[in-house]
Copies of this chain bind each other. A is one copy, B any other.
Amino acid sequence: MREPPNPIRLGMVGGGRDAFIGAVHRTAARLDDNFHLVAGALSSTPDKALASAADLGLPRGYGSWEEMLERERALPESERIEAVSVVTPNHLHFPVAKAFAEAGFHVICDKPLVHTSVQARELTRIVAEKGLVFGVTYNYTGYPMVREARRLVHDGAIGRVRKVIVEYNQGWLATRLEATGDNKQSQWRTDPERSGIGGAIGDIGSHAENLVSTITGLELDSLCADLTTFVPGRELDDDANLLLRFEGGARGILTVSQIEVGEENDLRIRVYGETGSLTWHQEDPNRLVHKTLDGPARLLTRGNGYLGAAATAATRIPAGHPEAFLEAFANVYAGIADAIRGVDGADYPTVVDGARGVAFIESTVQSAGSDAKWTPMRPVTR
């Protein structure tokens, strides 16, 4: 268990009353005592922002992120926040992350990173120029068994990758939840102004894309997308099915949906190589199945000595004592903390991973509107 003695001072933008993901970020930041949340502009409505800060007993609550930026910069270095978590709806990621990065603060930003590749490129540039840490909370990469899968592919345990099947099945938007008036999560996620050009493909397709990239290291060459809006009155896609072609010849399927009735948070990946395969399922995250050309399937479970260093470092408690979503999220925060502290090999998704996600969403939407079978994947700035 990591419990470092000097937590990093953290600020937060977004995540106040009625928000969901803010509390997840706070818990993830706190779980290993890597960060202390000391400041926040938790809502775009000043009164609500201040009330939300008071709810949490935050030392420094602000009415807006602009105020927070100005006031924190004015504090002595030993007091002011060292990093900021941006957990607003998507459309605010860019202005907030940009402003804090330009001011020299490390940034933790939820996904998808920004609305456009142009914005992603600008953030990437600033981060490089300022020498900052910029983490994107592709939280599923924090699961130990995802890290073990990445290691096994990298170490050749399944040979050269031939095929990937990645799925992210949800059902919570099978009806027009956003029209019921009291579900903030569904409202902004189905609103192009706040969510961007992708619906399901942006919200969860980005996770699926990143999971493939993280585990296999493959680069997308081109894709063929069919985006559908099943629920009448909705503007963005709520279902997406893609054929994938990777550089080097691997093939793939990516399917994500938010209208699959009864599915909860069913993110799955299967990676097939020339000599083996791997299967992982987010709802059963402590297991990883490794199959080979001969011999029985091997059922790897979190917490055992036969696992690699990255999986082990991401594990707090023994095998059979399950760890889950919040612990994985905390592992991403821990990796970012490592990076801020200058630890070598800090393990977390970067702004480039975020930019890749944006390029993927843009390429997918372009393909969906095209009669051409294959749409090239847009280039990603590094």
Contact = CB atoms under 8 A, between A and B. Distances in A.
Contact of A255 (B253, B283, B294): B253
Interface of A: 1, 3-7, 20, 23-24, 26-27, 30-33, 54-57, 158, 162-163, 165, 167, 170-172, 174-175, 224, 226, 228, 230, 239, 241-243, 245, 251-253, 255, 257, 259-266, 270, 272-277, 282-286, 289-301, 303-306, 316-327, 370-374
Among A23, A27, A301, A319, find the residue whose CB has the most chain B CB atoms closer than 10 A: A27
Contacts of A241: 243, 251-253
Given A57-B6, A260-B277, A261-B158, A323 B320 contact: no
A264 B320 contact: yes
Contacts of A172: 318
Contact of A170 (B5, B228, B275, B320): B320
Contact of A239 (B26, B163, B303): B163
Contacts of A23: 1, 3, 316
A371 B163 CA distance: 21
B5 A54 contact: yes
Given A27-B1, A33-B30, A265 B319 contact: yes
Contacts of A322: 282-285, 322, 324-325
B298 A297 contact: yes
Contact of A306 (B165, B291, B295, B323): B295
14 contacts: A31-B31, A241-B253, A243-B243, A260-B272, A261-B274, A262-B277, A264-B301, A264-B318, A265-B319, A296-B300, A297-B301, A298-B299, A323-B326, A372-B373
B5 A277 contact: no
A137 B10 CA distance: 31
**Copies of this protein, total:** 4
B55 A3 contact: yes
B224 A163 contact: no
Contacts of A284: 284, 322
Contacts of A54: 5
Nearest to A21: B317
A245 to B, nearest CB: 7
Given A243-B224, A316-B23, A316-B27, A297 B295 contact: no
A162 B230 contact: yes
B5 A55 contact: yes
A24 B317 contact: yes
A55 to B, nearest CB: 6
Contacts of A300: 296
Contacts of A33: 30, 56
Nearest 6 CB-CB pairs, A to B?
Answer: A262-B291, A264-B320, A265-B320, A5-B57, A1-B23, A322-B324
Contact of A325 (B253, B296, B321): B321
B296 A259 contact: no
A292 to B, nearest CB: 6
Given A27-B31, A294-B305, 16 more contacts: A3-B26, A5-B57, A239-B251, A241-B251, A243-B243, A253-B253, A257-B272, A260-B277, A264-B318, A264-B321, A282-B322, A295-B306, A296-B299, A297-B298, A317-B325, A322-B325
